[in-house]
């Protein structure tokens, strides 16, 4: 089982992988419609929206939470150095 490099989600089944391709290191939630990985800005915006929608936090708080999570993930390390 792989862990998504962009969000940390465990990818347990083929449908969890971007484009149903287990050679990819990122999940369906971190892929664009063409199967490529979202950019840093796209992922951050989507994660902020997800946190606001599912946890009810204010957008500024959600942004700090998203950045805190993203800073720990391999795909985004270079953005926080």
Question: What pLDDT digit, counting tens, does each position of 10-65 carry?
Answer: 999 999 999 999 999 999 999 999 999 999 999 999 999 999 999 999 999 999 99
| CA 46/CA 67 separation, integer angstroms | 12
Supply the pLDDT for residue 36: 96
CA-to-CA separations, 11 to 5, 21, 23, 33, 62, in angstroms, rounded: 10, 11, 11, 18, 24
Question: What's the DSSP call for residue 78?
Answer: G
The pTM is what?
A: 0.89
Three-state DSSP class for residue 4: coil
Supply the pLDDT for residue 6: 97
Supply the pLDDT for residue 51: 97
């Amino acid at each position: 089982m792989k862990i998504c490099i962009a969000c940390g989600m465990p990818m347990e089944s083929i449908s969890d992988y971007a484009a149903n391709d287990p050679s990819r290191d990122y999940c369906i939630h971190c892929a664009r419609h063409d199967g490529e990985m979202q950019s840093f800005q796209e992922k951050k915006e989507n994660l902020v929206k997800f946190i606001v929608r599912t946890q009810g936090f204010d957008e500024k708080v959600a942004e700090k939470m998203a950045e805190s999570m993203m800073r720990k993930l391999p795909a985004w390390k270079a953005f926080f150095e």
